[in-house]
Amino acid sequence: MTKTAPRSRTGFTMADGIQRALDTALGEDPRTLVMGEDVGRLGGVFRITAGLRDKYGEHRVIDSPLAEAGLVGTGIGLALRGFRPIIEIQFDGFIFPALNQICTHVSRMPLRVKDEGLLPMTIRLPTGGRIRASELHSESPETYFAHSPDLRVVSASTADTAGALLLAAIRSDEPFVYLEPKRLYRRYRVEPEQEVAEVDPGRARLLREGGDALLVVYGPMVDIGLQAAEAAAAEGIETAVLDLVSLAPLDEATVLEQAARSGRVVVAAESIRRCSISSDVVTLLATEGFGSLRCAPRLLTSPNRPYPPAHEEDEHLPSVADITQAIKEVAA
Amino acid sequence: MTKTAPRSRTGFTMADGIQRALDTALGEDPRTLVMGEDVGRLGGVFRITAGLRDKYGEHRVIDSPLAEAGLVGTGIGLALRGFRPIIEIQFDGFIFPALNQICTHVSRMPLRVKDEGLLPMTIRLPTGGRIRASELHSESPETYFAHSPDLRVVSASTADTAGALLLAAIRSDEPFVYLEPKRLYRRYRVEPEQEVAEVDPGRARLLREGGDALLVVYGPMVDIGLQAAEAAAAEGIETAVLDLVSLAPLDEATVLEQAARSGRVVVAAESIRRCSISSDVVTLLATEGFGSLRCAPRLLTSPNRPYPPAHEEDEHLPSVADITQAIKEVAA
Amino acid sequence: MTVTDSRPLTDWEPAYRALTCGRAFDELALKLQRQGVLDSYGEARGQEAGQIGTTIDLGPEDMVFPSYRQPAVALARGVPVIELLRFYAGADFCPWDWRKHGFAPYCIPVGSQVAHAVGWAWGTRLEGSDAVTVVFFGDGAASQGEVHEAMNYAGVFGAPVIFVLENNGFAISLPTARQTNAPELYVRAAGYGIAGVRVDGNDLVAVRSAAEEALARARAGDGPTLIESVTYRMGGHTTSDDPRRYRAPEELLEWEARDPVIRFRAALAGVPGFEDRAAEIDREVAADLDRATDEFLSERGMA
Amino acid sequence: MTVTDSRPLTDWEPAYRALTCGRAFDELALKLQRQGVLDSYGEARGQEAGQIGTTIDLGPEDMVFPSYRQPAVALARGVPVIELLRFYAGADFCPWDWRKHGFAPYCIPVGSQVAHAVGWAWGTRLEGSDAVTVVFFGDGAASQGEVHEAMNYAGVFGAPVIFVLENNGFAISLPTARQTNAPELYVRAAGYGIAGVRVDGNDLVAVRSAAEEALARARAGDGPTLIESVTYRMGGHTTSDDPRRYRAPEELLEWEARDPVIRFRAALAGVPGFEDRAAEIDREVAADLDRATDEFLSERGMA
Ligand SMILES: Cc1ncc(C[n+]2csc(CCOP(=O)(O)OP(=O)(O)O)c2C)c(N)n1
Ligand SMILES: Cc1ncc(C[n+]2csc(CCOP(=O)(O)OP(=O)(O)O)c2C)c(N)n1
Ligand SMILES: [Mg+2]
Ligand SMILES: [Mg+2]
């Protein structure tokens, strides 16, 4: 694992990996389109699509008007017609205007017409906080997607796999929501030879072995979680760290299997607690893995309050110290 | 309890109770407004607001254009100004266009300006299925609200309390979402003297005692759950039935206390399973009530698929038989 | 306007058949719903001319995105009667082969289908096809933000789409005059830099000629058109509705005098041979519906 | 247009002060952001005349709903400099007393504030007050469905609201010409049956006279007005933006020649005593900002 390794000067970042995946997708299938606000000439506010318009033209890398429902809605029409739109929503907090299209159509139309491959579209969404952004730029809206049936929701977490995960989503004929923890876009670098060529978008990934406890995380909590596991290891507690990767559906078998090893589980996420992915992990353990639990699972999330101003975000989110403490408590 | 009692000819229904609560609210405070699509002249598609426009005038019982974001958005503006809008959304499946206003403003504006009483508004929403309706008329969208911080979400369930619960929501200065299980609007009648005068909108309600198991339900699952409890009783299993009433926040103390009695818990709801209120109930038990659980909690929901055509809805939803069976299993 | 000025009668047969078939289906569905065989039905009576006039000249490669009140168009596009019946019976959300018929699934959240049509049309343009896409929505749906967004997208990308705004006077109970303060809705086209026109939606000939212009514009790559088709919903919103609660009976009488089926028959009356051919078509349509009804009832175990 | 034709100079002092103060704040905020004291700042340079011209004649009982780029208006409405700075520093989502100043919290989801303004204005009308509400949004926000819905509501309910559409040429990187195919945005007013007007947003005098008409209309109970204020965002979208990636430097030069502050000074130049009074005001504004900056920096532990 290179997650917490010192930054390297060569190598590539998560942003690079995502950008390359988009390039590959545009290159391999002329029906693939990249659409979104400012994705063309500007290259997106995070510069993820930089250069793609010049390479593929403005009909394939499309600057959309500022209207998210129209963006997803026209994307649906294009997908029905056989195109494969990859839609960038500019920030997590601006997905809400598109929820009618996502919840009533993207999530239902395939079953409505009994055609699973009806909507080969991917919605990319920068998510998560700790970047001192203004209001509604640090959200974790995964629940809104996960609670919408038949949508597949995955989250990137590491530079070495982000590209392959995105390509798997793009190449799938099912609609995917692909979450990009924006804090991690350029935080870590991995060497080219470390890039993972293929990722199963339905499988959780064990990032660290450890027999004393299991920590379940995803997205922007992955590097934090690995740091907590190291901190716990420094105190002699070996913690396995599982990255969910797929938030909907959950890779239930892997979660249950890993939880059974120690029977001591901590789940941590940036999202608020209520109706969260993390709550579902606990529910899974309680209903299907009850017999293997050796103590109450611990759930660390942000409180059921709106994401606060930048000055207060560190207190709002579970920290490395919080998670380390929880690991120590379950392993005690 | 009169829930499963034979229908009476006198007495009043849940629809009557809700209507009377609206009448009371309009009568007692001139700042209260009723707004929504077709709520005026038509009296609403469920006739809940019938007669109110004639009584209070078209400036207080307002037919809105067909635009849910505009409806909630202008409601916010009116509430800021000091009015107390009660907004009817016509059906559960049509809340999605309003989610941007609800999630980014109703749920955040009070904290944004540090004024808890900023938005004294109530959103009424008919929910739930088993009525052979067309697509998107039988949804259980409570998660979308509950996952939006600082929104209070309650569900009516019985005719004797629906009115008082609504009045409590309307009279509160916090924004409330009030869910109305539409199948129950006119299904049961209670006698006038049974009407409950006051309901605490934050408290779960024990509808039935029983020492062998606890069944946790809300909204449209309440009458079904009571029937299941009776069926189990016929086989000698005494099941306590707890109506959550408040879906966000949960009345955690009562849930934990009731669960601890038998340590054997079934949770049932119409909503899909993923990121659901019911999943949160299980999480609560697993994290805070772990020691008192005597077996794995059972969770009955609809599967993580879109609500199906009318012909298939009975199979989609947990039935009385399913719940009875689960009760027997946990109590075994 | 009379028909024969510009076209031979044979050219009008498809429109006549479609109109007749739409009206007959409406009556059938209403009857079956009253008998309890269908869960619910949204009546289209009175709106058939606007619906057929805007779509009868489409080819198989063209596409229609309906709202939920265009059975006449479904049938004209080849959707079998029994499949439409299965929809209203609550058996299936989209019983028809939408690609084959070029008739998209019905769409329940009002206005949300408009962007799909724009995306589809934009796709045809990216492909270099000259296919045209027609999308239906109502005066009520026109208030939805998503309709605004979709029309603006169409303008920006020059999508070959025809927006058919069926202004039938009501959104359930709300009259158009309280849906918006704008006396005419086609003027919104100017706000998107697209063409717009208002037409008497109960006059099939007038509608068809407006549609021809829009079709030509779209096929030529000159962008979208908004057609406001002014008509009247003669029935209830659906069979669960009771329009007597919100509209005066005289208003209905007025519009019955403008019944689009009667007007189209009148327009054709002078055409030599019309009566005979029409009687034949009427018989064929009736027989077709009878057959489908029998099959449907037996499938439901009711025959 | 010159100012003195219709009004004595004293009448223009508030506008002059507001314009000067807005520009000075913009420069200050930009500097503080570059120093790392503010997280991010959305520049308003070039838009001040449209903003001040539409709001300077409001009274304390009137209300302004901003988007997120109207610091000049906030200051003119009495919001203390330090409170604005706290916002951009990420300390607080709404540091000011929005009711007291009649200046609503900044609103991040573009266009979503427009309905709030309509509801508020509708409320004032229900109360029988003659207060007027002004709401700001951009050419990009104008594409949002919620803006359409809100303007339509305002038309239906005759809400006394002035919609100020600041067409500053860009939504981040997207030029207005690709935001919509409509060459002028004020024409959308007709689609809602409300008044609409287009004005040179860099000419304070012209803006103010358009606003006066809209204000009179609203106070008289004659409904809303859409004012399209044509202007230019001279800075980046925010301090995180790099406009050189998407616009030609010549374009900026062109608009610098139309700088609204310079133009307003020029319009006042012939007024006797103007130079002296202006110099006084300039000094007062600068002193005020200096004081606030010191206080702010010491509160941040940086002074
Ligand atoms: C988003 C949404 N809100 C509410 C409804 C409920 N509803 C169904 S049809 C209708 C009226 C539609 O009026 P209009 O668009 O004029 O079409 P018409 O029914 O007259 O054909 C309403 C309010 C809905 N289907 N979708
Ligand atoms: C719903 C929504 N989508 C996207 C954004 C991100 N965003 C912030 S400002 C902006 C451009 C707004 O342009 P315009 O409305 O013209 O206002 P201006 O910034 O030019 O003042 C965008 C896309 C947002 N804030 N809200
Ligand atoms: Mg209508
Ligand atoms: Mg702009």
Cβ contact (<8 Å) for D178 and A65? yes
Closest atom, ligand 2, to C-alpha of D69: 21
Average pLDDT of the segment spanning D271-285: 94
Query: Between residues A233 and B2, which one has the greater pLDDT?
Result: A233
- Closest residue in A to C155 (Cα) is A65
Query: How many Å lie between the centroid of ligand 4 and the Cα of residue D177?
Result: 11
d(CA C236, CA C44): 9
Closest atom, ligand 2, to C-alpha of A136: 25
Query: pLDDT category, D270, cuts 50, 70, 90?
Result: confident
Question: Chain B neighbours among C 157-216 (CB < 8 Å)?
Answer: 171-174, 178-180
CA–centroid distance for D164 within its chain: 8
Cβ contact (<8 Å) for D116 and B80? yes
Q: Tell the residue number behind the tokens 């208030």, with chain if given.
A: C143
B265-272, strands of its sheet edge to edge: B205-211, B239-243, B213-217, B265-272, B298-302
- Closest residue in D to A131 (Cα) is D39
pLDDT of residue A14: 98
**Per residue in A37-93, pLDDT tens?**
999 999 999 999 999 999 999 999 999 999 999 999 999 999 999 999 999 999 999
Identify the three-state secondary structure at position A97: helix
Identify the three-state secondary structure at position A298: strand
B294 pLDDT above the threshold of 70: yes
Whether the CB of D110 sits within 6 Å of ligand 2? yes
**Per residue in B121-167, pLDDT tens?**
999 999 999 999 999 999 999 999 999 999 999 999 999 999 999 99
Ligand 3 ion: Cβ-proximal residues, 5 Å cutoff? C 138-140, 168, 170-171
d(CA B231, CA B221): 15
Which helix or strand (DSSP H or E) is residue D230 part of?
A: strand D225-230
pLDDT of residue B42: 97
Query: Of D279, D292, D300, D294, which is closest to residue D75 (Cα–Cα)?
Result: D292
d(CA C249, CA C235): 12
> How close D223 comes to chain C (CA, Å)?
11
Instruction: Note whether A290 contacts B: Cβ–Cβ < 8 A.
Output: yes
Query: pLDDT category, D220, cuts 50, 70, 90?
Result: very high
Cβ contact (<8 Å) for C119 and A69? no
B55-63 long-range Cβ contacts below 8 angstroms, 24+ apart: B55/B23, B55/B26, B56/B26, B59/D126, B60/B26, B60/B30, B60/B32, B60/B33, B60/B34, B61/B26, B61/B33, B61/B34, B62/B33, B62/B34, B62/B35, B62/B36, B63/B36, B63/B37, B63/B38, B63/B39, B63/C173, B63/C174, B63/C178
Q: Which of C90, C174, C179 sits opposite B132 (nearest CB)?
A: C90
- Closest residue in C to A104 (Cα) is C109
d(CA D228, CA D208): 13
B9 pLDDT above the threshold of 90: no
Q: How many CA within 13 A on the CB side of residue C140? A: 21
d(CA D123, CA B74): 9
Residue pair D118/B74 in contact by the 8 Å Cβ criterion: yes
B46 pLDDT above the threshold of 80: yes
Share of chain C above pLDDT 70, in %: 96
Which helix or strand (DSSP H or E) is residue A301 part of?
A: strand A298-302
**Per residue in C131-190, pLDDT tens?**
999 999 999 999 999 999 999 999 999 999 999 999 999 999 999 999 999 999 999 999
Cβ contact (<8 Å) for D246 and A41? yes
Closest atom, ligand 2, to C-alpha of D144: 1
Instruction: Note whether C119 contacts A: Cβ–Cβ < 8 A.
Output: yes
pLDDT of residue C167: 98
Q: Can you spell out the DSSP letters for D8-65?
A: -HHHHHHHHHHHHHHHHHHHHHHHHHHTTSSS-----TT-HHHHHHTTTT--TTSEEE
> How close D149 comes to chain B (CA, Å)?
5
C210 pLDDT above the threshold of 80: yes
User: Which residues have a Cβ under 8 Å from the Cβ of A330 and sit 6 or more positions away?
Assistant: A213, A264, A265, A266, A295, A297, A298
Backbone φ and ψ for C267, nearest 5 degrees, come out as -65, -30
Is D246 assigned a catalytic role? yes
Whether the CB of A42 sits within 6 Å of ligand 2? no
Q: Which phi-psi region, left, alpha or beta, contains residue A38 (left: φ > 0; alpha: ψ -120 to 50)?
A: left
Instruction: Note whether C222 contacts D: Cβ–Cβ < 8 A.
Output: no
The CA-atom distances, in angstroms, between B292 and each of A289, B121, C264 are 17, 39, 76
**Per residue in B266-283, pLDDT tens?**
999 999 999 999 999 999
Instruction: Note whether A272 contacts B: Cβ–Cβ < 8 A.
Output: yes
Query: pLDDT category, C6, cuts 50, 70, 90?
Result: low
Residue pair B279/B297 in contact by the 8 Å Cβ criterion: no
- Token pair in block for residue B172: 């509160």
Share of chain A above pLDDT 70, in %: 97
Q: What is the pTM of this model?
A: 0.97
d(CA A23, CA A29): 10
**Mean of per-residue pLDDT scores for chain B:** 96
Residue pair A176/A153 in contact by the 8 Å Cβ criterion: yes
Question: Chain D neighbours among A 29-68 (CB < 8 Å)?
Answer: 37-38, 40-43, 45, 63, 65-67
Amino acid at D129: S
pLDDT of residue B10: 78
d(CA B125, CA B180): 6
Interface ipTM above 0.95: yes
CA–centroid distance for D159 within its chain: 21
**Mean of per-residue pLDDT scores for chain D:** 95
Beta bridge partners of A140: none
A146 pLDDT above the threshold of 90: yes
Query: pLDDT category, D8, cuts 50, 70, 90?
Result: low
Spell out a b/e string for D70-104, using b for 16 or more CB atoms within 10 Å of the CB, else e: bbbbbbbbebbbbbbbbbbbbbbbbbbebeebbbb
Question: Worst-scoring range by mean pLDDT, B58-72, C26-40, C263-277?
Answer: C263-277
d(CA A223, CA A210): 16
**Per residue in B232-248, pLDDT tens?**
999 999 999 999 999 99
Average pLDDT of the segment spanning A248-255: 98
Q: How many CA within 13 A on the CB side of residue B224? A: 26
Burial of residue D4 (CB within 10 Å: 0-12, 13-18, 19+) is middle
Amino acid at A26: L
- Token pair in block for residue D154: 């305002």
pLDDT of residue D14: 96
Cβ contact (<8 Å) for B306 and A275? no
d(CA B243, CA B214): 11
Query: Of A194, A142, A167, A203, which is closest to residue A84 (Cα–Cα)?
Result: A167
Average pLDDT of the segment spanning A176-188: 98
Average pLDDT of the segment spanning A93-116: 98
pLDDT of residue B4: 44
Residue of B94, B101, B134 best to disrupt the C interface, most CBs of C under 10 A: B134
Cβ contact (<8 Å) for D94 and B105? no
Beta bridge partners of A215: A241, A266
Burial of residue A10 (CB within 10 Å: 0-12, 13-18, 19+) is exposed
Closest atom, ligand 2, to C-alpha of D142: 15
Q: Which of A112, A249, A283 sits opposite B282 (nearest CB)?
A: A283
Is C283 assigned a catalytic role? no
C4 pLDDT above the threshold of 50: no
> How close A40 comes to chain D (CA, Å)?
9
pLDDT of residue C3: 46
Residue pair C197/C226 in contact by the 8 Å Cβ criterion: yes
